[in-house]
Amino acid sequence: MALNKARLDRFLAQHCQISRKQVRLMLAQSRVKVNGSVARNIEQVIDTFTHITLDNKVIQQNTAYYIMLNKPVGVVSATKDEQHKTVLDLLEYPFKNELHIVGRLDLNTSGLVLLTNDSRWSERLTLPEYKVSKRYIVHLKNKLDEAYVNAFAEGMYFSFEDITTKPAKLTIIADYQAEVELTEGRYHQIKRMFGRFRNPVTALHRASIGTVVLDSQLAAGQSRMLTLQEVENIAQ
Ligand code: URA
């Protein structure tokens, strides 16, 4: 398997245990196809999910999987856990053990969790420079007011990490309910931010990541594959 991105000639030389001169000959003889087309360019860049054949025999065929799950409260965002059911336990796909989680949720948080085997996609979603927003619906014990909106927008200093949170958008939906949009994911971030107001979060639900919105047809515990459009447009 090619690890992330690699040049075609390097991949073939390594895979077939031959010299790059021999690879050039193979290409000149039209023996290699990349994603169904005869490969001519030794410098062509391929990745883990590029389909490659040699003499019409498949030598690399890895499928990228992208799943959205409606995580229920009480399920842990991990692949293994001694105590609790994990998000993987909820999936029935034969390839589920290849997947990793893109941005965890706390045990008592529900909502959208993405899983994939495509580490380049997940890295992109979690890199700060892409500023992929995550939208949460938050229920609170005490009444909200405009002071919350300003404090979330200004950012809050977390001494434990010695950081100030990035500007977050808080919209008051009702007296005890808000929508919060974050572009980062600090440990227990939303609960800690409301903690500054001594206002306990009574329920927390992630509604979207980037442009991908949790499918309202998915009951808690259910999942589905993302569409190609969702995969490609998520971080716009
Ligand atoms: N903020 C939290 O406090 N918990 C989550 O699960 C996500 C964001």
Examine the fold and report which residue of 21, 38, 60 is the final residue of a domain before the chain moves on.
60
Are residue 168 and residue 208 in the same domain, yes or no? yes
Query: Is residue 109 lining ligand 1, measured as CB closer than 6 Å?
Result: yes
Query: pLDDT band at 22, cuts 50/70/90?
Result: very high
Q: Which residue has the tokens 């992109």?
A: 124
Helices (H) and strands (E) in the chain, counts: 6, 17
> Any catalytic annotation for residue 175?
no
Are residue 42 and residue 104 in the same domain, yes or no? no
Does the predicted TM-score (pTM) go above 0.85?
yes
Are residue 22 and residue 55 in the same domain, yes or no? yes
Query: Is residue 52 lining ligand 1, measured as CB closer than 6 Å?
Result: no
Q: Which of 9, 106, 145, 162 is catalytic?
A: 106
Residues whose CB falls within 8 Å of the CB of residue 213, separated by 6 or more in sequence, listed in order: 112, 207
Examine the fold and report which residue of 60, 75, 94 is the final residue of a domain before the chain moves on.
60
- How does pLDDT run across 144-203, given as a tens digit for each residue? 999 999 999 999 999 999 999 999 999 999 999 999 999 999 999 999 999 999 999 999
The parent domain of residue 166 ranges over 66-233
Are residue 141 and residue 210 in the same domain, yes or no? yes
Does an H or E element contain 205, and which? strand 201-209
- The whole-angstrom separation of Cα 137 and Cα 111 is 9
Question: Ligand 1 atom closest to Cα of 104?
Answer: 6
Are residue 10 and residue 39 in the same domain, yes or no? yes
Are residue 93 and residue 190 in the same domain, yes or no? yes
Are residue 85 and residue 121 in the same domain, yes or no? yes
**Model pLDDT, residue 134:** 97
DSSP state of 99: -
Are residue 13 and residue 99 in the same domain, yes or no? no
- How does pLDDT run across 102-135, given as a tens digit for each residue? 999 999 999 999 999 999 899 999 888 888 999 9
Nearest to 200 by CA among 143, 117, 151: 143
CATH number of the domain residue 93 falls in: 3.30.2350.10
Nearest to 180 by CA among 157, 160, 151: 151
What's the chain's average pLDDT?
A: 95
Are residue 183 and residue 97 in the same domain, yes or no? yes
- 209: helix, strand or coil: strand
- The whole-angstrom separation of Cα 66 and Cα 18 is 35
Q: How many domains does the chain have?
A: 2
Examine the fold and report which residue of 20, 40, 60 is the final residue of a domain before the chain moves on.
60
Are residue 180 and residue 104 in the same domain, yes or no? yes
Are residue 131 and residue 205 in the same domain, yes or no? yes
Nearest to 182 by CA among 165, 158, 159, 199: 165
Are residue 92 and residue 52 in the same domain, yes or no? no
